[in-house]
């Protein structure tokens, strides 16, 4: 119980930072909305033949891309704390060893709630209309939050092993961008070369996008991996990916935190 209390205190500290520096929250929400408007109106012609238009295919992809960027935000934020000496201060306090890393992931997860609400409203304004019913829509958003939360643990580990906050931010984006653009997030994978289709359709981002589309009531299209596990069971496959990511990075992050020192 003490560990949970300590983690919640760290989460509260992180949320209070948003009230003191509201520009962080503003720019965190503006960027995804800009992506929505950009793809909706610049690439809207790709929606020819899609029931409901391109925006129905687009929004789940934008949602997943945004929560996937949690990895980079978490890594950069923790790396900055390391540079400022905050980690050494936290480690000198009589709190649970896992409290700092758990608290940061919870804080980033709560921020994602605000971002997804803003994006959902922006998507609704430009024509996105989920058709699956309230329960499935809420389940879709819960899965998106869980996906972002699982990736934040990879960000925790990256932040703890990095030597510079700027470097870890750039490396994290270099990792996330191929995963999001070599996926089904913004267009069907069927137009890709076959070799890329295998990667794109088994990509965790693609399975999460497919899961979100299914939960929001949109039909998925797969290429060479049609009738495979990701295409027929994207929800279950996404959950397996999330559990695997956390199963790998939670113990690695907690172990690394015990020996990490500020720079």
The domain tally of the chain equals: 1
Pick the closest to residue 56 from 192, 199, 214, 207 (CA basis).
214
Cα 154 from Cα 252, distance rounded (Å):
9
Query: What is the 3-class SS of the chain, one letter each residue?
Result: CHHHHHHHHHHHHHHHHHHHCHHHHHHHHHHHHHHHHHHHHHCHHHHCCCCCCHHHHHHHHHHHHHHHCHHHHHHHHHHHHHHHCHHHHHHHCCCCCCHHHHHHHHHHHHHHHHHHHHHHHHHHHCCCCCCCCHHHHHHHHHHHHHHHHHHHHHHHHHHHHCCCHHHHHHHHHHHHHHHHHCCCCCCCHHHCCHHHHHHHHHCHHHHHHHHHHHHHCCCCCCCCCCCCHHHHCHHHHHHHHHHHHHHHHHHHHHHHHHHCCCC
| pLDDT tens per residue across all 263 residues of the chain | 566 777 787 788 777 777 777 777 777 778 888 888 888 887 766 655 566 678 888 899 999 999 998 888 888 888 877 777 766 677 676 677 777 888 888 888 888 998 999 999 999 998 899 989 899 999 999 999 999 999 999 988 988 887 777 778 778 877 888 888 888 888 788 878 888 888 888 899 999 999 999 999 988 877 777 777 888 889 999 999 999 999 999 999 888 887 765 54
Return the pLDDT at 260: 67
Domain span including residue 200: 2-44+52-259
In Å, how far from its chain's centre is CA 240? Answer: 16
Return the pLDDT at 215: 95
Return the pLDDT at 116: 93
Return the pLDDT at 189: 81
pTM equals 0.88
Return the pLDDT at 154: 92
Cα 29 from Cα 34, distance rounded (Å):
9
Q: Is there a contact between 78 and 104 (Cβ–Cβ < 8 Å)? A: yes
Return the pLDDT at 71: 87
Return the pLDDT at 153: 93
Find the radius of gyration of the CA atoms of the chain: 19
Length of the chain: 263
**What is the b/e burial string over 204-216, where b = at least 16 CB atoms within 10 angstroms of the residue's CB?**
bbbbbbbbbbbbb
Q: How many CB atoms lie within 10 A of CB 105?
A: 28
Query: What is the 3-class SS of 130-182, one letter each residue?
Result: CCCCHHHHHHHHHHHHHHHHHHHHHHHHHHHHCCCHHHHHHHHHHHHHHHHHC
């Amino acid at each position: 119980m003490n560990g949970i209390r300590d983690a919640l205190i760290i989460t509260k500290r992180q949320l209070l930072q948003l009230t003191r520096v509201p520009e962080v929250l503003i720019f965190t929400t503006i960027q995804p909305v800009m992506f929505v408007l950009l793809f909706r109106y610049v690439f809207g012609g790709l929606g020819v033949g899609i029931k409901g238009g391109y925006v129905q295919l687009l929004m789940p992809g934008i949602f997943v891309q945004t929560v996937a960027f949690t990895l980079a935000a978490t890594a950069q934020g923790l790396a900055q704390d390391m540079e400022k000496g905050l980690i050494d201060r936290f480690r000198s306090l009589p709190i649970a060893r896992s409290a700092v890393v758990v608290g940061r992931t919870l804080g980033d997860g709560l921020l994602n709630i605000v971002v997804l609400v803003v994006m959902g409203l922006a998507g609704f304004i430009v024509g996105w209309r989920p058709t699956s019913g309230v329960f499935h829509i809420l389940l879709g958003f819960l899965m998106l939050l869980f996906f972002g939360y699982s990736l934040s643990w990879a960000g925790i580990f990256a932040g703890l092993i990095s030597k510079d906050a700027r470097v870890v931010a750039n490396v994290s984006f270099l990792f996330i961008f191929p995963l999001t653009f070599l996926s089904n997030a913004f267009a069907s994978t069927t137009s890709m070369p076959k070799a890329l289709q295998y990667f794109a359709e088994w990509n965790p981002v693609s399975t999460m996008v497919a899961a979100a589309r299914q939960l929001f009531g949109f039909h998925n299209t797969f290429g060479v991996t049609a009738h495979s596990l990701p295409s027929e069971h994207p929800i279950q496959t996404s959950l397996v990916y999330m559990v695997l990511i956390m199963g790998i990075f939670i113990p690695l992050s907690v172990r690394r935190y015990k020996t990490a020192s500020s720079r």
